[in-house]
Amino acid sequence: MGSAFHDTQLVCSGDLSYLGGSWSKTVGSAGEIPLQGDFSAEHMIFGVEGTDPVRREKLIDLLDIDLQWRMHKVSDGQRRRVQICMGLLHPFKVLLLDEVTVDLDVVARMDLLEFFKEECDQRGATIVYATHIFDGLETWATHLAYIQDGELKRVEKLTEVNELKNSANLLSVVESWLRSETKSEKKKPTNPPAQNQNTSPFW
């Protein structure tokens, strides 16, 4: 079995999409297109070629985008909506998300999560969502992976996470894990810091 990082079949087929925190969109040979220039939202969104007009209109409506927005004058949340719209215009088989909802308000975030759920249910897509924002994810995610210091500590179906059966929400469960982890770290002898100390639960 080859390394997942060396299998480019999904990427070459266009079935793998990635949305991260950068304010730019990689578009073929054009490279990085900034989302902070003096462009309209319409110019940016309609500039993505080979898109389904019905899907495009659905995303514009879902994300409540005003096509007349000037990208250098909008808020971070509005700019993020345009970025997400552009990134989702082409259907995907696998979508990798890295903290893309941090600039969205609660309503936009929940609407987007509902759209992602529909993509999985109706088209059989797979979404991996790396996040530190857990509000409302109890009914959205199907599986949970918990990484501590670069090591995979837990991989479970969300329905099988025992702590969730006695807790109101996922946020409080993850908070208890992080607090427990912090206490354990304080008890350890002092060592030189490792290069990667990230703790990142993701979906």
Give yes or no: residues 94 and 142 share one domain.
Answer: no
For residue 36, what are the domain limits? 10-130
152 within some domain: yes
Which residue, 130, 145, 172, sits at the end of a domain?
130
Q: What does DSSP assign to residue 6?
A: G
> Is residue 15 assigned to a domain?
yes
Cα 139–Cα 154–Cα 22 angle in degrees, nearest 5: 70
Are 47 and 38 spatial neighbours (Cβ–Cβ below 8 Å)?
no
Asked if 126 and 139 sit in the same domain, the reply is: no
Q: Does 44 score more than 80 pLDDT?
A: yes
- Domain final residue pick, 130, 163, 190: 130
Residues 45 and 86: beta-carbon distance below 8 Å: yes
Q: 109: which 2 tokens?
A: 């975030």
Strand partners, 128: 96
Report phi then psi at 119, rounded to 5.
Answer: -60, -40
pLDDT of amino acid 29: 31
Q: Which sign does the torsion angle of CA 124, 52, 87, 65 carry?
A: negative
Instruction: Read off the DSSP letter of residue 9.
Output: H
The pairing of strands 143-148 and 24-27 is: unpaired
- Global pTM reads 0.73
- Give domain status of residue 201, yes or no: yes
Task: Render pLDDT for 74-127 as a digit per residue (tens, 0 to 9).
Answer: 888 898 899 999 999 999 999 999 988 888 888 998 999 999 999 999 999 999
Q: How many CB atoms lie within 10 A of CB 20?
A: 13
Distances in whole angstroms, Cα of residue 129 to Cα of each of 46, 133, 172, 178:
26, 10, 19, 19
Q: 3-class DSSP state for residue 171?
A: helix
3-class DSSP assignment, residue 65: coil
Residue 73, both tokens? 């004058």
Q: What is the pLDDT of residues 2-29, one digit of tens each?
A: 455 555 555 555 688 888 876 544 433 3
* Residue 1: inside a domain: no
